[in-house]
Structure 1
Amino acid sequence: MAQQPPPHESDPVPHQQDPSGVTGVGNGPQVVSTSATLDVIAGPLLNYRRTSNQQTGQPIWHGSVLIVTTPGQQNPELVLSPAGPVDASLGDVGFSVDARPFHGEKLYEDPKRAFWRFIIEAPMQQFESRWSYHVRNLVYVDRTKLEKPQVFVVPAASQSMRIMFHSCNGFSVGTDVDAWSGPALWNDVLRMHAQKPFHVMLGGGDQIYNDGVRVDGPLKPWTDISNPHKRREYPFGEQMRVDCDEYYFNNYVKWYGQPPFSTANSQIPQVNIWDDHDIIDGFGSYTDHFMKCAVFRGIGGVAHKYYLLFQHHLAPPKSTFTTDAPKTTNVGAHGTTPADPVQLKDTFVMTDDVGDPSYIMGHKPGPYVEERSRSVYCQLGARIAFAGIDARTERTRHQINYPETYKALFDRLDKEYSANPDLKHLILLLGVPIAYPRLIWLENILQSPLIAPIRFLNKRFGFAGGFFNQFDGKVDLLDDLDDHYTARQHKTERRELIQMLQNFSKKFSARVTILGGDVHLGAIGRFYSNPKLQIPAEQDWRYIPNIISSAITNKPPPQAVANLLARRNKIHHLDHDTDETLLEIFDRDPGLTSKGEKLSPNGETSLTNGNAATTDGKIDKKTSDANHATMPSRNYAIICESATPPTPSLSAPNAASTNGDAASTVSAPPGKKDNPRHPIHVGEQGAGTQHPAANGLQPTGLCGPFGLDVSLRVEISNSDREGRTDGYGFSIPGLAVGGRSEQGTRW
């Protein structure tokens, strides 16, 4: 990955060598803490980066930890220690490493805060292992918080990662947060993690909602301007940048410091992409001439700064756009250059941060966030690879990503899979669903001349105020519809992406599974070969499921919307050979029997059989009796391999698999007259609450050693502050094309 560009030759801001050993720009706040403690504002936040192999063949787990401190701190140190195997039956087995210190690197410092990153690594063992870490002398500025050692889990060298996926982790403006019990589902995540640990959690965008910046934040005076032309011409000066910078920082500290989310952040390594709410609702999907206004360019830069720091543990750009600094309005090949000395007054920014090999950098800056996109590739254990496409930096109303970005992604995939025949699965993370009901008919209505009289009444008298957005005066729902891959203007981009994935899948005999969030409900979409071709799913490189999990925190849409989407669940034809539709996985509402009765009258919860009972009180029905395809209830997903490799004996490290028979299962191909909304292979048979994968704990073995089990964990009642869930399961088969599946496996 390329380094950040060197300072502009005319940049008057001095460069310095920081005591932590990194090179930066700016002199910093010129204060030195005399405290014997390390005063921490936020953190620790734990990220996963990648794995690598030593010459000895032992894989190394790479990650990072971020803390935010008061300014003036000196050389913080983190200690990482082995904490024993996850499987207690292994007893006191030996680790290949002892406790080890890691020194902090200062990414950024201004007169109010400093960001410190610890790059950590741990050798992967023959067994699933726990690791404990703590930062020496850490004391929270908020004295009600107590420092304690944190523990995370690394998979065995022969194991693929157990994955938790979430999106939409925040509340839309105007939501009654208390009525929805706050971020309650993170309690359920931690319960599941305690029973069977997650090795990584994938954030699908909207990890934080910054929309309040326009309601009770510094953008309110701008938002209140009724004239769209005056709003477009409004300047984004240095004072507004400072105010927005303070707002975004404080919102991150508040949200990322709030249990139980903060607990998960410190114990489950994260890998994130971003979406619009990480900036502001609809960013990128308004009209082009409005998106290029000064205020949107300004907040795009500020949001990007804190996205890099909090979510990726990376140094931000030296400065961002303001109308007071004409130089920052120029976009260079690598982003906003040169640096603004006003913004760097009393500020330090690391400049030699080379990032990480896991990043796939965009070819050129985005149109509104004027920095290069940052997609992610990494390996999730022995047989699963992950790719997350930057969902927002390059987005406009008419494109989701640049063609060069897709090319860079597939070049990277080709390189990685050519070098490693053990890789059997690719998990691709997109910001929005891609196998999803069409809503073009609704787009046509909202853009038709029928809306014009309502828009006129809105402008003159405020009629139907909630129907139109506060920014460009268009129908508010349109920016959400324009976000979807299924929107009219994204039709070609969508088809070409799926066809590239199919070609990749066929070439490497690797199953592709897509993750998507954004839509605030749960569903399972699938692409698959036209039944006339009579290809079993286990041999079908066109079979690509789309796990749609959203939201883990935000409130779901009304039942009527979910039911409408279910009625639009047609069988679509992507091309001559590929069909698509949603799987009818929701056999009943969460917490209720098929007759609408509570699962358990005593209010206790069973998390071992997949049927989480309810708390006392009424549970509202969430879907119509005819809707088995979309679930308007908060949720997250658990993804793991269908079969678990045996734990190697220390005396017999080449132990054979006991699950090999499952790999030979081949389903009958779907009949030409079958309903593909129903199961089309053995892993989908019985999909729902009675499926063996529903509990999210034990591998089913249904789809062989290279398949995946999926549990969509759905909230039962939003009044339950413990966030109890019910599980809906199905399994995804591995792929056997041209013999590749028999090559190079470690089993």
Structure 2
Amino acid sequence: MHALNPNGSGAPPLATGQNGTTPHAVDAPNGLSTSAPAPQPSGSPMLTAGPLLNYKRMSNELTENPVWHGSVLIVLTPGQIQPELQLKCLGRIGPGNGDGALPTGPSDTHGTQTFRGERLYEDPTKLFFRFEIRAPFQEFEAKWEYSITPELQQQSGGAITPKHFIVPSKAQSMRILFHSCNGFSVGTDMATWQGPNLWHDVLRQHDEQPFHVMIGGGDQIYNDGVRVDGPLKQWTDVGNPHKRRNYPFGEQLRADCDDYYYKNYVDWYTTEPFRTANAQIAQLNIWDDHDIIDGFGSYTDHFMRCAVFRGIGGVAQKYYLLFQHHIAPPPSTFTTDAPKTTQAVDGTTVADPVQSKNTYVLKETHEDPSFIIGNRPGPYVEEKSRSLFCQLGARIAFLGIDARTERTRHQINYPDTYDLIFNRVNSALSANKNIKHLVLLLGVPIAYPRLQWLENIFQSPLIGPIKFLNKRFGFAGGLFNHFDGNIDLLDDLDDHYTAHQHKPERKELVLKLQELSKQHSVRVTILGGDVHLAAVGRFYSKPSLNIKPEHDFRYMPNVISSAITNKPPPAAVANLLARRNKIHHLDHETDETLLEIFDKDPGLIKKPTNGGNGVSKKTADVNHATMPSRNYAIIAESHAGGAIVSGGATNGAAPVEATGTSPANQNGKKFNPRHALHAGEENAGTTHPAASGVTKTGLCGTYGLDITLRVEITPSDKEGKTDGYGFSVPGLDASAYAGQGTNW
């Protein structure tokens, strides 16, 4: 550990390259300790978790020499150490094999860069180091290797071996893995749902054709056990709602929760094969409720403002920032026995001398440009929201909206946060005309069946007598949550954009996206998780407007991929949602509905089969829209050449106009928008060329995307084998609408 200089700086020296240069001199760290550093134990530190690889952003996007920026995190037991990371390019990857690399000359590899670790956080039991790394994009898809010295021993045994990751060529956009709900809800039958098996399939796909980035859509970890077998059990067991609301969150309870969240992160992030994926596929994450605790933000306001919720919000954010973003947390979090911490000052929690004792926290001197930071703290977390915007290779931009920090039952984000986000994205798209696709992460689906009728039942006076019996006698205990006494599913319904109280905000967001798409001729594809099943929703122009899909700025698919690890809902729930797959009208120009992509259940020969080879049916024969099975998604450009080609017209199969003339609806059949709206949706499912997750279909033009849902066949298979369901998204040429009004 570095000795502090008289002004409190504990900054390590700058990283140096092979030739003595400073690879990240612009990003030089400058650490300030909130107190004297923790006493150092004798002996060498041991690796507790990591290495974890993150992607941050591209720089120099508009030059001939763009640069990949990322970070690597390691977590150690305390001790005297100054780790370094060596990074070198091994050369061109072998065709179709992420593990292979062809030799290249020194002009390609740029030598070896050395980065010294920055101490992010340290207390008497744990030590976090970050390496900010950067790699110049090559003319080819390149394999990079990083190793950490001195050689660290893992607590589980053995030393850290060199790790590898793949960076696309200058002409490529990134191949994306999208996942969500990577953990287990309380009460899951672990005999049936045996661990994170689908990560085996992720690594197989990565080996066949490498992923450049993996987007975590929320619930990367489940911390709900804190109220069952953790320090919040005593609070949860308080039967009187008034006493529960007024329960203090003092320093001892905070420290106990801090220890629980830290250990839960370490346990989960060292679980294979998730651990291996974290070290070689760069993460890009946004959090959701289970990263904090189930339903956080969606309970009643007076209950959400109780001390315990505010306290665990701060503790959860601390470890979310460290493990998932590799940035230093605030020096303190909320406690009731430190009055200064109970309200934010300058957008953050005031430092608490008790929490700062024997603790070092890096004071970040700059925010990474990938963050879009809110103007003011959230209502229940005393910190500002952190949304993400960055470029994913040559032609794809990514926007991840933090929809949890500012969330209440009646809002998802502050209006001024939307202003910050859209100002940033509009500015970036205006400056960079190479961007042809915006991948938007919302966490919770936005094009999804309405469940307002179920909300009405749960909130109706008929539930009142059952609530009374539950409070007095425990009647129907499984129906109610342990926090505010409401129906347990109500917080999940309140989370949805389609919940009645969120509908105005939802509509305004979609209209903003339409305007952005039209103005910049950029296709928007939305990612959403949370609901523990797979589906594909779409917004699109009403067929009567007679707009071709490659010109339809309203066409926005919502890829719903959830969960990669958690158990799916019962088949009856998925079938009910499919029956609610109505054609909804956002406004006079925009319709929405789910695509019927599931031509058969995974592992079965065809839909009406009753199973075979140990594989069971998952859905009703009439359900082609929702799939209750663990899954993840793959997103990649559909153009085989990977080169920039001018013009917005599609190639490959001809596009199909959204006018009722789709081949699937000819021969006098009534047009059904649940079926194909364009060529990329024809034969959507297991027979679509994109179903493999590897083939570049070329179906939807130079700027189109191929999308694959990889769906688990059976949870009893520990190798996590999957079936693929594919469709393609057309690029957008909205030049015909430049300067036109919104009613196009």
- Indicate whether the TM-score tops 0.5: yes
Paired residues, number: 703
Partner of 2:676: 679
Partner of 2:3: none
Q: Is residue 46 from structure 1 mapped to residue 53 from structure 2 by the alignment?
A: yes
Amino acid at match of 2:52: L
Cα deviation for residue 72 of structure 1 reads 2.8
Maintained 8 Å contact 2:650/2:699? no
Partner of 2:651: 662
Q: Secondary structure at the match of 1:23?
A: coil
- CA distance in structure 1 between the partners assigned to 2:90 and 2:408 by the alignment: 47
Structural mapping, 1:552-701, within 5 Å: 552-594=564-606, 618-645=614-641, 662=651, 665-671=654-660, 673-701=670-698
Cα deviation for residue 659 of structure 1 reads 12
Cα deviation for residue 597 of structure 1 reads 5.4
- CA distance in structure 2 between the partners assigned to 1:54 and 1:457 by the alignment: 62
Q: Is residue 527 from structure 1 mapped to residue 539 from structure 2 by the alignment?
A: yes
- CA distance in structure 1 between the partners assigned to 2:90 and 2:189 by the alignment: 41
Residue by residue over 1:99-144, the C-alpha shift from the partner in whole angstroms, topping out at 9 and shown as x without a partner, is 1110100111000011100000000000000000011123234243
Q: Secondary structure at the match of 1:170?
A: coil
Maintained 8 Å contact 2:11/2:31? no
Maintained 8 Å contact 1:683/1:731? yes
Select which of 127, 130, 134 maps to 1:114.
127
Amino acid at match of 2:252: Q
Partner of 2:22: none
Q: Is residue 377 from structure 1 mapped to residue 389 from structure 2 by the alignment?
A: yes
- CA distance in structure 1 between the partners assigned to 2:609 and 2:143 by the alignment: 41
- CA distance in structure 1 between the partners assigned to 2:608 and 2:203 by the alignment: 28
Maintained 8 Å contact 2:387/2:399? yes
Partner of 2:104: 93
Q: TM-score, normalised by structure 1?
A: 0.91
Q: Secondary structure at the match of 1:683?
A: helix
Amino acid at match of 1:25: S
Cα deviation for residue 456 of structure 1 reads 1.1
- CA distance in structure 1 between the partners assigned to 2:434 and 2:736 by the alignment: 13
Maintained 8 Å contact 2:142/2:168? yes
Cα deviation for residue 32 of structure 1 reads 3.7
Partner of 1:329: 342
- CA distance in structure 1 between the partners assigned to 2:457 and 2:297 by the alignment: 22
Select which of 434, 438, 444 maps to 2:450.
438
Q: Secondary structure at the match of 1:307?
A: helix
Partner of 1:652: none
After TM superposition, what 4+ stretches of structure 1 lie above 6 angstroms from structure 2? 655-661
Amino acid at match of 2:345: G
Bigger mean CA offset, 457-466 vs 200-209: 457-466
Maintained 8 Å contact 1:273/1:390? yes
Q: Structure 1 residues 595, 517: closer, same or farther in 2, change over 3 A?
A: closer
Select which of 137, 161, 185 maps to 2:198.
185
Q: Structure 1 residues 598, 488: closer, same or farther in 2, change over 3 A?
A: closer
- CA distance in structure 1 between the partners assigned to 2:725 and 2:642 by the alignment: 26
Q: Structure 1 residues 446, 30: closer, same or farther in 2, change over 3 A?
A: closer
Amino acid at match of 2:656: S
Bigger mean CA offset, 171-180 vs 543-552: 171-180
Backbone CA RMSD of aligned residues: 2.1
Cα deviation for residue 332 of structure 1 reads 1.8
- CA distance in structure 1 between the partners assigned to 2:506 and 2:243 by the alignment: 36
Partner of 2:666: none
Q: Is residue 346 from structure 1 mapped to residue 354 from structure 2 by the alignment?
A: no
- CA distance in structure 1 between the partners assigned to 2:339 and 2:403 by the alignment: 29
Select which of 327, 331, 348 maps to 1:314.
327
Cα deviation for residue 720 of structure 1 reads 0.5
Select which of 724, 728, 740 maps to 1:727.
724
Cα deviation for residue 96 of structure 1 reads 4.5
Residue by residue over 1:184-225, the C-alpha shift from the partner in whole angstroms, topping out at 9 and shown as x without a partner, is 000000000000000000000000000000000000000000
Residue by residue over 1:358-417, the C-alpha shift from the partner in whole angstroms, topping out at 9 and shown as x without a partner, is 000001000001100000000000000000000210000000111111111110111111
Unaligned runs of 5+ in 2: 1-5, 14-29, 662-669, 739-744
Maintained 8 Å contact 1:15/1:25? no
Cα deviation for residue 74 of structure 1 reads 2.6
Cα deviation for residue 156 of structure 1 reads 0.2
- CA distance in structure 1 between the partners assigned to 2:80 and 2:443 by the alignment: 37
Maintained 8 Å contact 1:314/1:355? no
Residue by residue over 1:295-326, the C-alpha shift from the partner in whole angstroms, topping out at 9 and shown as x without a partner, is 00000000000000000000000101001101
Partner of 2:8: 16
- CA distance in structure 2 between the partners assigned to 1:215 and 1:167 by the alignment: 23
Q: Secondary structure at the match of 1:241?
A: helix
Cα deviation for residue 669 of structure 1 reads 2.4
- CA distance in structure 2 between the partners assigned to 1:343 and 1:363 by the alignment: 26
- CA distance in structure 2 between the partners assigned to 1:138 and 1:213 by the alignment: 35
Residue by residue over 1:557-592, the C-alpha shift from the partner in whole angstroms, topping out at 9 and shown as x without a partner, is 000000000000000000000000000000000000
Q: Secondary structure at the match of 1:57?
A: coil
Structural mapping, 1:696-711, within 5 Å: 696-711=693-708
- CA distance in structure 1 between the partners assigned to 2:359 and 2:734 by the alignment: 56
- CA distance in structure 1 between the partners assigned to 2:45 and 2:141 by the alignment: 32
- CA distance in structure 2 between the partners assigned to 1:15 and 1:463 by the alignment: 61
- CA distance in structure 1 between the partners assigned to 2:467 and 2:63 by the alignment: 68
Maintained 8 Å contact 2:693/2:708? yes
Cα deviation for residue 736 of structure 1 reads 0.7
- CA distance in structure 2 between the partners assigned to 1:72 and 1:20 by the alignment: 15
Select which of 247, 257, 263 maps to 1:250.
263
Q: TM-score, normalised by structure 2?
A: 0.92
Partner of 1:489: 501
Q: Is residue 67 from structure 1 mapped to residue 80 from structure 2 by the alignment?
A: no
Structural mapping, 1:405-420, within 5 Å: 405-420=417-432
- CA distance in structure 2 between the partners assigned to 1:575 and 1:595 by the alignment: 35
Q: Is residue 713 from structure 1 mapped to residue 725 from structure 2 by the alignment?
A: no
Amino acid at match of 1:516: G
Q: Structure 1 residues 293, 661: closer, same or farther in 2, change over 3 A?
A: closer
Cα deviation for residue 662 of structure 1 reads 1.1
Maintained 8 Å contact 1:700/1:709? yes
Q: Is residue 239 from structure 1 mapped to residue 244 from structure 2 by the alignment?
A: no
- CA distance in structure 2 between the partners assigned to 1:38 and 1:335 by the alignment: 32
Cα deviation for residue 28 of structure 1 reads 4.5
- CA distance in structure 1 between the partners assigned to 2:409 and 2:192 by the alignment: 34
Maintained 8 Å contact 1:28/1:110? no
Cα deviation for residue 598 of structure 1 reads 9.3
- CA distance in structure 2 between the partners assigned to 1:416 and 1:663 by the alignment: 30
Residue by residue over 1:677-713, the C-alpha shift from the partner in whole angstroms, topping out at 9 and shown as x without a partner, is 0101000000000000000001100001100000000
Amino acid at match of 1:708: L
- CA distance in structure 2 between the partners assigned to 1:332 and 1:659 by the alignment: 49
Amino acid at match of 1:563: N
Q: Structure 1 residues 658, 577: closer, same or farther in 2, change over 3 A?
A: closer
- CA distance in structure 2 between the partners assigned to 1:442 and 1:470 by the alignment: 20
- CA distance in structure 1 between the partners assigned to 2:649 and 2:113 by the alignment: 39
Amino acid at match of 1:108: Y
